[in-house]
Amino acid sequence: MQIHVIGLGVAECANLAAPAQAVLSNLTEHDIVVGSPRQHDTLVDFAHQAQVEKLPKLSQLAVKFEQWQQEGAAQVVVLASGDPLFYGVGAWLKRTFGGAGSAHKLVFYPNVSSIQMACHRLGLSLQDVHVVSLHGRPLSNLRSSLQCNKTLVLLTDQYSQPKHIAHECLAAGLAHSEITVCEALGYQHEQVRQFSATTLCEQTALTFDPLNVIFVKTGRPSGGQGSLYPSAPGIPDHAFVTDKGDGKGMITKREVRLVILSYLGLQAGDTVWDIGAGCGGVSVELAYWHQQSHIIAIEHHPQRLACLEANQDRFGVTRNLSIVAGRAPEALADLPLPDKVFIGGSDGALNDLMAQVWSCLPLGGHLMVSAVTEDSKFQVMQFANQRARLQDAEEHSLQLAVSKQDRLAGQRLYRPNLPVTLSLFIKTSMAINTQKDTE
């Protein structure tokens, strides 16, 4: 079956190029055109003989395709608002039906997107803005982009309307942000209105067309404005929710966290396990700076789990941070295989954990282990000796001893934290362990 994905443009009536017009004119009564009621209405100038279907939820769409094919459809047209492959249905279709050996053939017909149209209305270059899609996604996802001196373009839904965005700006400390709402682009009642975040929150009687694109200009860190969300690695400890308050609970401290971020060296698309994630310092910071990677935080302590979930929401990393409530190594059994692993806590099972994780890693995979007690340092040393015998790893190890300024009787002094040993093992071969080697 052939699947045509047609972008309709940004207008009350679709403006289609000749190839897209030809697709519609060649449809038969057995074929299908699927889209929202508004999208179907835009085809008023392009008659076709196909059956009209309302776009179901994506979770049901694959089943519907099979049903339509069994009922005799040779072609299905999926209507998209503008560019189907830019935060549109096209990406899902490509993942679902675009693989090698698929019985379906995908063809895309792009058009002008609402983002392009909105940028042109305001005279902004597309390469100078940062696009965030909140359509069908948690509003908290916005938080990882709310830094100073940025211009954001937001694709919205009913849960991310202008007043929701304004409240997020105020909560982030960005009350002076300029919010521009582009409503009903391409329609006769189109309008573009601009507000400050504070004004938008105060004017409770304001209403907006639900079909909108929102710009947020956060401004420079001056005039009493500064974002609560970091613009550089090393989130302050006190910014995290912890089990003992003020960043003093079960959380990897800022200076150690920076070294972990650097040595793990995440790449786009990496899957990372954070074992013994505690309140989530490492997991949250990895997810915050590496939005194209998948971070999996494993923690079993109920209070720390609650803090971890609170920090996930606070920093808006719900999209790429998954939380697994369980104790390793048992909790690792059904997880996607990792590219990088950080072990921050082992609950007495460090030997077994390191062995299991090492067997899961691919060539070039990274295992980093944090050790504070002499017992855990000894177990890491045994593991390092095993790697040296098998010659299957590149090893890096360092010890951090951080002292922070404090006051005593009105005088400055430096109070030392417990030294932390960080050991990094990079897999260089797939040597098979023998029983003698693992003892």
Please, what is the end-to-end C-alpha distance for the chain in angstroms?
A: 57
The pLDDT of residue 344 is above 80: yes
The SS3 call for residue 19 is helix
Mark out the alpha helices in 197-245 (DSSP H runs). Answer: 197-202
* Domains detected in the chain: 2-112 (3.40.1010.10), 115-217 (3.30.950.10), 237-438 (3.40.50.150)
Q: What is the mean pLDDT of the chain?
A: 93
Q: What is the per-residue pLDDT for 432?
A: 57
The pLDDT tens digits for 140-188 are: 999 999 999 999 999 999 999 999 999 999 999 999 999 999 999 999 9
Sign of the CA dihedral running 233, 153, 115, 211:
positive
The pLDDT of residue 434 is above 70: no
> Mean per-residue pLDDT for 348-353?
89
Among residues of the chain, what percentage have pLDDT more than 70? Answer: 96
Pairing of strands 340-343, 403-408: unpaired
Q: Which residues share a beta bridge with 399?
A: 421
Of the candidates 32, 9, 15, the residue with the CA atom closest to the CA atom of residue 84: 9
For the CA atoms of the chain, what is the radius of gyration?
26
Note whether 366 and 425 are within 8 A (CB): yes
Give pTM, 2 decimals.
Answer: 0.88
Q: What is the per-residue pLDDT for 435?
A: 41
The SS3 call for residue 111 is coil
Q: What is the per-residue pLDDT for 438?
A: 45
Q: What is the per-residue pLDDT for 223?
A: 58
Q: What is the per-residue pLDDT for 281?
A: 96
Mark out the alpha helices in 51-189 (DSSP H runs). Answer: 58-70, 89-97, 114-122, 162-171
Judged on CB neighbours under 10 Å (0-12, 13-18, 19+), 401 is exposed
Q: What is the per-residue pLDDT for 226?
A: 82
The pLDDT tens digits for 93-108 are: 999 988 776 778 999 9
The pLDDT of residue 264 is above 90: yes
The pLDDT of residue 352 is above 50: yes
> Is the bond leading into 362 cis (omega within 30 degrees of zero)?
no
User: DSSP string of 265-327?
Assistant: ---TT-EEEEET-TTSHHHHHHHHH-TTSEEEEEE--HHHHHHHHHHHHHTT-TTTEEEEES-
pLDDT band at 206, cuts 50/70/90?
very high
pLDDT band at 225, cuts 50/70/90?
low
Distance CA(144)–CA(227), nearest Å, equals 11
